[in-house]
Amino acid sequence: MSSVVHLKWGEEPKADDSYVMITRLGRIRGEDYYVHTRSNRSMGEARSWADESFASLASALREAETVANRSGADIIYVRMP
């Protein structure tokens, strides 16, 4: 199981870590959560794992855990603007 770390305002993840990040985007109809991954194998580039959004933080966390298990990431960062 991966560790979940909530980033503070302006805080960035460690550059040398492989990680999964959850971001939030506010919409008129509510909020959407997105799951991104960064691994040392992906040349340091953060990218979306899928083009889908999640309606709740709980569902995004479930997907992030699945992605972290697949990619070998030990940390799931949560960034809320």
pLDDT for 48 equals 47
Q: Residues 27, 54: contact at Cβ < 8 Å?
A: no
CATH number, residue 66: 3.30.160
Residue 37: give the domain boundaries.
3-79
Q: How far apart are CA 35 and CA 53, in angstroms?
A: 8
Domain total in the chain:
1
Q: How confident is the model over 12-66, as pLDDT tens digits? A: 887 777 889 888 888 777 788 989 887 655 434 445 445 578 989 999 999 999 9
